[in-house]
Structure formats: C-alpha cells, structure tokens
Structure 1
Amino acid sequence: MMTEPTLGFDTLQIHAGARPDPATGARQTPIYQTTAYVFRDADHAAKLFNLEEVGYIYSRLTNPTVSVLQERIAALEGGVGAVACSSGHAAQILALFPLMAPGKDVIASTRLYGGTVTQFSQSMKRFGWDARFVDFDDLAAIEDAACDDTRAIFCESVSNPGGYVTDIPAVAEVAHRLGVPLIVDNTSATPFLCRPIEMGADIVVHSTTKYLSGNGTAMGGVVVDSGNFDWAASGKFPSLTEPEPAYHGLRFQETFGAMAYTFHGIAIGLRDLGMCQSPQNAFLTLLGTETLSLRMARHVENAVRVASWLEKDPRVEFVTYAGLASSPWNERATRLYPKGAGAIFTFAVRGGYDACVKLVDNVRLFSHVANLGDTRSLIIHSASTTHRQLSPAQQEAAGAAPNVVRLSIGIEDADDLIRDLDQALAAATR
C-alpha cells in the first residue's frame, strides 16, 4: 500500500483544507455568508446537537469558509485541529478556557505584547484566573513560579515588540515536567519561520489579523491543537476528562481522543463565548495564507537590511533584532529559526521619548498604526500607545521602554525604507 507523500509548506499554504465547491465547481473557497444550515431531517439535527455527527448548525459554531481556514492553519502548524475566532485576544481566552477555573493560574513570559499583559494581569481576574509573569530566560524561575493551581505556560515565539526569541524546546521541557501544556503565540514568526509544535509546544495561538492575512484587512484569531497532550494524566483538566452536563455526560477526551481540545473549543468555547470569526474575514485570511512563504522571506530579508543599517547609525542607541549577530539571542534564533528571526523589532533613539514622538510624526513611507505583519512597513512608539497601560517596569520588561520605537518591516524596496527612516531620524534628532 502506497503512503501519501508529505506536502511541502508552499503547497499546503495554497491547498490545505480547500476543495472545489461540490455544488458549483468553484475553485476558490466560496464565502458562505449564512447564519444557519438546513438539516436533512430531525434525526440529522439531533445527531449534530449531540456531537454524534460533524456538520453545520449555526455559523457561531461552524461555517464552511471558516472550516477551510481552520484546516489550513492546522496543517501549516502541524496540528490535529484548529478553532478560528474573532481576534488574537479572543484566541488567547479561547485557548485557556478549557484549562482554567476560578483560583487557577497561568505562568506567562514577561516579554509579551502589552495588550496581552493587560488581558492576563487585569481582565482575566474577572474570571477568577491569575497570571504569574516570569523571565523565560530563567527556566528555574518558571518552575519556582508553578504551584498546584498552575494550568498552563504561555509565551510568544518571537515577542512583540522587541523581537525576543523564546527557547521553545527548553520551556516545553519545563512545562511537561510540571504536567501542564505549553501555549505559544506564533503570530510574529508564523509557521513559515517557526513550528512550535515540532519543538514541544502543545497549543499554538495566532492573531490571524497579522502575517497570516498579511494586508491589514481582516480581524481574526485561531487556536491550534497539537493533539499530543494527555489531558487525563494529572486530573487537572476536568473540562476535558470529566462528564460534561450540557452533553448528557459526554467526556471529551474519551469520545474524541486527540481532537478533544479542538471539539471542546467549538462545542463549549464558541457556543458559550460566541467569539466566532466571520466568513468574510476567513476568506480574506485564506487569500493571505496563499502567499505567506513568499511574503515572510521578503519581510525577513528587508528586516535584516534595515536593522543592520540602524545599528550603524550614530542617532540610534541600540537595535533589538535577533537576526543581527550582535543580538544576545542571535545564536538561539539561528538554531531554532533558521529561515529568519521575523520582521518586528525595536530600536532606541538618542533623545529619548521626545525624539521617538518626533520620529513617528516625520515618517513618510512607514505608516503610524497599531498593527504589525502588514505588507506595508509600520511604525509605532509602544510606550505611548500599545503599552501605555503598563507600568514603567512592565514596559521595560516587555521591551517597550520610553526611548524605543517598534518597526514592522514590510515588503517594499528596502532602500526606500532606509531613506525614509534616515530623513525621519534627522528631523527627530535635529
């Protein structure tokens, strides 16, 4: 018996999950802009609601366009299943929802996007969840922060804004010694540069708004399950192992095996939290994934050129890009992310806060927006915007100090980007 060949990344990013539409033969995935679906008969409806059969009920739960996106991203990440939702922040809550309960906690890296720090340190408390923030370069500190109530470890593969590179295999070993899953936000790296599941991560989350869609048009998030974590081993995850009252005592792991976490994300998470992704946004994101590898290669190429130029400029104090030989994380990035260290990083402007504000006010080609991962190059002063809610100490820990500016390098001509930064720096430090 012949085995199916393993498809390459460039093939999967175009074909995974997509098939010609059976009704019309349409080759591109249609936008199924519908709220509900007709059942074949009463028995079919009952089986769908009992989770005895997979199908479409209501687009808050499942939608054919969204299903293609889920299957494609799961394939690109090497997972068994995925659940798409309305945003990256929604994906983080959806990822934790089956694992947590009042009084339980997650250990999180200090090097996270500012909005994530706020979500974890403030908003999650309303669920009765707690977060403990640790420097993930100190593996012993992760273990020391753990307790009987710890239910997950959370980090970013390449951190936003500083471009710090996490040693995912080392952190995964710690998580598994503690008997909890490692959740990795892979938004900044994408599966083209980093495959966290192959490094030991159990769950991957994305803001699909960023590089996966790639052009700043579609909000979305996704949670990808590796299918590798044994939810029954410790007794810590009753939502996945104990009888579920809403489904007449069904046990998710017993019933769905490696797909337990994914099915829970749909049947409980999307059902009750309601954070579904629209079919229009899923369609736009699918279009973006088709060119992911081409774009990421150019993003990285340009980032290396721009960061190298900035590092030599006397108006710049330092550059945090892990793709530079001078970076303390360059060896790690080269070892774990051989295709590149992403395309976001920060640099410190001589003149501090005021010079940073002048810089963002004087760029012409860079866009001053609170986003990243666009085809266009983007700039923002994190301390006064995305990380404004954090304390000075938290800003420093997150790589968003008052004297630094974050860049998201696009796919334009690198010489044009350098010229734009040159004239903006001249205005900012004049």
Structure 2
Amino acid sequence: MKNQTKAIDTPFGKSDVYGSLSMPVYHTAAYEFETAADMADAFTGRVIAPDYSRVMNPTVMYLEDKVKAITGASNVVAMSSGMAAISNTLMALAAAGKNIVTSRHMFGNTFALITDSLKRFGVEPRLCNLLDIDEVKSRMDENTCCIFLEIITNPQMEVADLKALAALAHEYNVPLVADTTVIPFTQFSAKELGVDIEVVSSTKYLSGGATTLGGLIMDYGTTRGFGQRIKNEMLFNFGAYMTPHVAYMQSLGLETLDARYRVQSQNTLYLAKKLCTLPQIKKVNYVGLEDNPYHAMAEKQFGKTAGAMMTIDLESKEACFAMINNLKLVRRATNLFDNKTLAIHPASTIFGNFSDQERAAMDVLDTTVRLSIGLEDMDDVFEDICQALGRQVDE
C-alpha cells in the first residue's frame, strides 16, 4: 500500500468491540488483567499489552503503528513534544564523557539542550560545519555517540548531505540522528538516506492545524540497544509519553497530512517567487527556489517539494518589526505548518536569550523574518505582506 493508504487504513491492534471506524480514545491510566501471570508478562515486556498509560496506551500505540507502517521503522515511540523526542533520544545515546557532533545551525532550544543542558551532565558538544565532511570527521573520536542534525535547518535553511554523513557516522559505529520535521516523513525515506534514528515534532504538519503538541522517535533498528533503552528506560524513568487524546487528534491529522502538505508546499513556492519581486525584501531563502544553493541537494534527498517554511531578509531589525506589526492577515505567532500563515522574528524570540555573539555564530540575523506558510489563498497573503511593507516604507 502507498503511504496515504497506510495513513488511513492501518488496522487496529485489536478490533473495536463496537466496530468504530476511528480508534477510540482510551482515557484511562491503568488496565485490568485476568491473572497475576498476565500482569507479570505485560510489565516485563514478554507480551505486548498496555499495563499503564505512562508507558503504553492503545490509542497512542495505534498512532505509533501507523507511523511504523509508513516509515518502515523497527520501533516508533510517541512523545509529549518534539523537544521530548529529541531530548529522550540524545539521553538514550549519550553518557558522561561522550560527545555529540552537530552544527551551530539548528532550532534554539535544541541548540541549548546540546550545548548547555546535556553539557552539565558531562556530554560534550562538538560544533562544526556539517557541509564539510573532512571537518566533521576531524571532530569525531571513540567517544562520539552520534551525529545530530536538522535536514533543513531552522531558520538558516541549510541542507547537508545525509548519505555522506551517514557513511561517516557508520565508519565510527555511531548513529546518524536527524530531525526531519521540516519535510513530512510521508514524502521521503530517511531510512534510505542512511538515517538511523529520526525525530519529528508531530506538533507541526501531523497535528493538522496546530491542534496538539507531540513528538515521534523512529528507530530503524540499526543502533544496538537503542530501542530497548528508549522503551525500557526513557519512557519508564522520564515519563514523557504522548497522551491518548493527542494521539487521537494526530492520527486524524495524519490521514489528511498528504493533502494539506501538497497545498502548503505549492503555496510556499508560489509565494516565494512572488516575494522575490518586492524591492523591500533583500533576500528570499527557500530551498524550493531553483537558484537556492541547497536546491539540488534538497530535491535529490526529499523530492520535488521543499516544505512550508521560508525566511525573508529586510533592511534592518526595525524594518522586520514594522512589517510584522503591520500584518493584518498573517498571524504573529511561533510554530510551524499551522493551517494559518505565521510570521516571527527568530533573533528576538526563539533565539532571544542568546548573546549577540552567539547568534552571529549561529547565523541568526536581526534582519530575518521566518514565515510558516498555511492553506490560505496566497494572493491574499502576498497582498498582506505587500501592504505591511508598503506602510512601513510610507512611514
């Protein structure tokens, strides 16, 4: 079956007693067992059966099964947020004395997790240019526990060669861990590109209009002991499992993800081309544009679509603030891939707690506005951006 069919028609783990077409929401904390032996088997993992909803719930398991069917992952674990997926994954791989090889180009909280939170527990961040394989190799040693990256960095829009990084990671017998949130896993195979562990903020495309917070870990079974540690240690000890209501909403969102994404990605390319014509905009950064330096690599790895995130650069921070303040249709909000188009100034918000020097090293510029493109008519969005820029120029 094709991915869209799997997203809709993956069967339930057990038939619903009433024949429900949608997986019921099992709003319960605990489950009754027939015998003490049955209970012992469930708690020790000898049988796959829910025992406590902090670590296993039928509604959440159904979402995991759908994602597993689509991606071909050996294990899928649904978490309470995208950051929970990233932090639990890295905690499962790292230990005091280990190091994580990664880039300065990534989402602000992910960067802070690796360079601050994990560092306090003795895990060394090794920051390098992931576009330069020789430099990456020079940062690796016997204590490296993984290479971590975003497939399209937020907000720099950088695209690295996943197969080259995977080959290097595997040379050192460590996994390549990729945050693939920017391009839906329905559109390409991370596994075929050499990714060992895929993490996703399911809050984004999957939730279907920013309805819920969630995260996913897709384990492709190539990293020894990882799947067991995530399920038997991280879930039990950190308690970041997805809730059943969220899983229900995101299962429904997954059913319409492909249709929504096709419109959003087409909208983004259409708008990006139109924004290139505006003299107030100094740069439009979208890998779907043919003159983008990462266009060829993105198309080779992820196919013909390039996601629904872009950035634009204006003359100054003041110009960015003025444009954002003047928007009437586009919403001033964080998040990505809502049904609504959103605008944010990353340097003063997502990266607002970093110093000027840190932001400069991360290539987070004061002149950049990030746009997440929604499902509206893009002519209306374009007109709104034009009037926001025009009013700024008039004043």
Say whether the fold is shared (TM-score over 0.5).
Answer: yes
Q: 1:343: which partner in 2?
A: 308
Determine if the alignment matches structure 1 residue 410 to structure 2 residue 374. Answer: yes
When residues 215 and 398 of structure 1 are mapped into structure 2, their CA distance, relative to the original with a 3 A threshold, is: farther
Q: 2:36: which partner in 1?
A: 42
Residues 338 and 374, structure 2, Cα contact 8 Å, conserved in 1: yes
Q: Distance in 2 between matches of 1:73 and 1:163?
A: 26
Deviation at 1:89, TM superposition (A): 0.7
Determine if the alignment matches structure 1 residue 384 to structure 2 residue 329. Answer: no
Residues 17 and 69, structure 1, Cα contact 8 Å, conserved in 2: no
Counterparts of 1:2-401 in structure 2 under 5 Å? Answer: 7-16=1-10, 18=12, 21-229=15-223, 231=224, 240=225, 261-350=226-315, 352-396=316-360, 398-401=362-365
Deviation at 1:367, TM superposition (A): 1.1
Q: Distance in 1 between matches of 2:17 and 2:360?
A: 55
**Scaled by the length of structure 1, what TM-score is found?**
0.88
Q: Distance in 2 between matches of 1:17 and 1:399?
A: 46
RMSD: 1.5
Q: Distance in 1 between matches of 2:156 and 2:205?
A: 17
Q: Distance in 2 between matches of 1:180 and 1:67?
A: 28
Deviations 1:95-149 (A, max 9, x none): 1222211121111122211111111111112332222122211111111111221
Deviations 1:36-61 (A, max 9, x none): 00112101111122222221110011
Deviation at 1:296, TM superposition (A): 1.0
Deviations 1:177-204 (A, max 9, x none): 1211000101111113332111000000
Q: Distance in 1 between matches of 2:357 and 2:184?
A: 29
Q: Distance in 1 between matches of 2:9 and 2:162?
A: 28
Code of the aligned partner of 1:410 = G
Q: Distance in 1 between matches of 2:262 and 2:269?
A: 11
Code of the aligned partner of 1:290 = E
Deviations 1:16-68 (A, max 9, x none): 35467432211101110000001121011111222222211100110000001
Residues 83 and 262, structure 1, Cα contact 8 Å, conserved in 2: no
Q: Distance in 2 between matches of 1:147 and 1:214?
A: 42
**Greater alpha carbon shift after TM alignment, 218-227 vs 126-135:** 126-135
- Identity among equivalent positions (%) equals 34
Secondary structure at 1:132's aligned position in 2? Answer: strand
Code of the aligned partner of 1:26 = S
Code of the aligned partner of 2:173 = G
Unaligned runs of 5+ in 1: 1-6, 232-239, 241-260
Q: Distance in 2 between matches of 1:77 and 1:361?
A: 41
Deviation at 1:338, TM superposition (A): 1.7
When residues 364 and 292 of structure 1 are mapped into structure 2, their CA distance, relative to the original with a 3 A threshold, is: same
Residues 19 and 29, structure 1, Cα contact 8 Å, conserved in 2: no
Residues 299 and 342, structure 1, Cα contact 8 Å, conserved in 2: yes
Residues 183 and 204, structure 1, Cα contact 8 Å, conserved in 2: yes
Unaligned runs of 5+ in 2: none
Deviation at 1:264, TM superposition (A): 2.5
Deviation at 1:73, TM superposition (A): 1.6
**Greater alpha carbon shift after TM alignment, 15-24 vs 173-182:** 15-24
Q: Distance in 1 between matches of 2:386 and 2:351?
A: 25
Deviation at 1:275, TM superposition (A): 0.7
Residues 145 and 174, structure 2, Cα contact 8 Å, conserved in 1: yes
Deviation at 1:12, TM superposition (A): 1.3
Q: Distance in 2 between matches of 1:69 and 1:63?
A: 10
**Scaled by the length of structure 2, what TM-score is found?**
0.96
Residues 210 and 216, structure 1, Cα contact 8 Å, conserved in 2: yes
Q: Distance in 1 between matches of 2:122 and 2:264?
A: 40
Residues 315 and 349, structure 1, Cα contact 8 Å, conserved in 2: yes
Code of the aligned partner of 2:140 = A
Deviations 1:351-374 (A, max 9, x none): x10111111111111111111111
Deviation at 1:397, TM superposition (A): 5.0
Residues 107 and 133, structure 1, Cα contact 8 Å, conserved in 2: yes
Q: Distance in 2 between matches of 1:364 and 1:338?
A: 34
Secondary structure at 2:186's aligned position in 1? Answer: helix
Code of the aligned partner of 1:62 = M
Code of the aligned partner of 1:63 = N
